[in-house]
């Protein structure tokens, strides 16, 4: 038995970074995990790490595939919407395609996943939805994160709205807002900046008053709390885990 024993959990973007750390944390606490990602080799290596992790390729930008997956699965107790895309630049650097892509991956995906999973939760009168937002959102203006921050503010809005609509029917919906976390995609952002990579790593670390990056496991610990019944009294809340960045 564990903190999530008996719970069936669906995760997106579970192949790497925060999603992967969370899939492992959930499985270790007794959940039956369906880990999804677009990267099938990342999923295969994840499945080898724990026997209660099943995997399926899912691109969150394909609503038909989302519906088919949910229809073919046992009902879910927990949905962790982790998939997200970081567009870099100010409004002047953002074209329509970058703006659209940001909303398709970060926001439309959550609309479709929440809508697909909710009926099963409502039928059984229980469920916890966890949506990945960011401190770069309605919480804080961050340079060169124009489209990204707009999408993550939208995630906060849709989270609070779902929480308000279903609070009396046993379904909770919360958002997680991390500061800067050490994940593969952060490494890509550092490399994309070019020049002195060590200096870029330092400046990402120094954004947090704690002077360091977050670890994926530190975000997974919060997701684990929100997935478990320990958090039964919190819904529609914005859970910040950011090394003091937004303070
Ligand atoms: P990551 O790059 O480490 O992992 C991302 C995973 O998403 C990869 O396995 C990738 O294959 C998968 N993916 C990409 N496009 C997908 C799609 N269309 N459908 C399904 N899966 C897809 O990412 P991360 O840094 O752990 O970020 C996870 C989430 O956390 C994102 O929503 C991100 O915005 C958010 N976040 C990250 C940070 C950070 O500093 N890393 C901070 C705040 C919020």
ipTM score of complex: 0.99
pLDDT for 90-120, tens place per residue? 999 999 999 999 999 999 999 999 999 999 9
Nearest Cα to Cα of residue 221 among 168, 188, 176, 167 = 176
pLDDT for 219-233, tens place per residue? 999 999 999 999 999
pLDDT for 5-50, tens place per residue? 999 999 999 999 999 999 999 999 999 999 999 999 999 999 999 9
Class of 8-179+216-241 in CATH: alpha beta
Contact 128, 119 (CB under 8 A): no
Q: What separation in Å is there between the alpha carbon of 236 and the centre of ligand 1?
A: 22
User: Residue 9: enclosing H or E segment and its boundaries?
Assistant: strand 8-11
Residue from 185, 186, 189, 206 to probe ligand 1 pocket by mutation (most atoms less than 8 Å from CB) = 185
Q: Is 38 in the pocket of ligand 1 (CB under 6 A)?
A: yes
Two tokens, residue 162? 């779902």
φ, ψ of residue 79 to 5 degrees: the values are -120, 125
Residue nearest to atom 2 of ligand 1 (CA): 185
- Closest atom of ligand 1 to 133 CA is 44
CA 26 distance to own-chain centroid: 14
Residue 124 has pLDDT above 90, yes or no: yes
Q: What separation in Å is there between the alpha carbon of 183 and the centre of ligand 1?
A: 8
pLDDT for 147-188, tens place per residue? 999 999 999 999 999 999 999 999 999 999 999 999 999 999
Enumerate the active-site residues.
Answer: 148
Residue nearest to atom 41 of ligand 1 (CA): 181
Q: Is 17 in the pocket of ligand 1 (CB under 6 A)?
A: yes
Q: What separation in Å is there between the alpha carbon of 124 and the centre of ligand 1?
A: 30
φ, ψ of residue 136 to 5 degrees: the values are -75, 95
Q: What separation in Å is there between the alpha carbon of 85 and the centre of ligand 1?
A: 6
Going by pLDDT thresholds of 50, 70 and 90, the confidence category of residue 1 is: confident
**What is the residue extent of each domain of the chain?**
8-179+216-241, 183-213
* pTM of the shown model: 0.98
Kindly calculate the radius of gyration of the chain based on its CA atoms and give it in whole angstroms: 17
DSSP string, 51-117: TTEEEEE--TT-HHHHHHHHHHSPPPSEEEE-------B-GGG--HHHHHHHHIIIIIHHHHHHHHH
The rounded percent of the chain whose pLDDT value lies above 70 is: 100
């Amino acid at each position: 038995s564990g903190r999530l024993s008996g719970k069936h959990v669906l995760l997106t973007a579970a192949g790497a970074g925060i999603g992967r750390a969370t899939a492992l944390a959930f499985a270790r606490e007794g959940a039956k995990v369906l880990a999804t990602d677009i990267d099938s080799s990342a999923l295969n290596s994840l499945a080898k790490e724990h026997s209660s992790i099943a995997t399926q390729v899912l691109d969150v930008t394909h609503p038909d595939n989302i519906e088919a997956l949910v229809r073919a699965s046992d009902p879910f107790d927990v949905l962790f919407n982790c998939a997200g895309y970081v567009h870099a630049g100010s409004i002047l650097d953002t074209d329509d395609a970058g703006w659209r892509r940001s909303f398709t991956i970060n926001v439309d995906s959550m609309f479709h996943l929440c809508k697909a999973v909710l009926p099963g939760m409502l039928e059984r009168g229980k469920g916890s939805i966890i949506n990945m937002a960011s401190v770069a959102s309605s919480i804080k203006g961050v340079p060169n994160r124009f489209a990204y921050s707009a999408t993550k503010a939208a995630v906060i809005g849709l989270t609070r709205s779902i929480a308000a609509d279903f609070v009396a029917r046993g379904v909770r919906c919360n958002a997680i807002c991390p500061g800067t976390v050490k994940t593969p995609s952060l490494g890509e952002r550092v490399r994309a900046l070019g020049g002195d990579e060590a200096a870029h790593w330092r400046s990402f670390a120094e954004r947090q008053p704690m002077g360091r990056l977050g670890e994926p496991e530190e975000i997974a610990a919060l997701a684990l709390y929100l997935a478990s019944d320990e958090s039964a009294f919190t819904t529609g809340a914005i859970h910040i885990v950011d090394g003091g960045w937004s303070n």
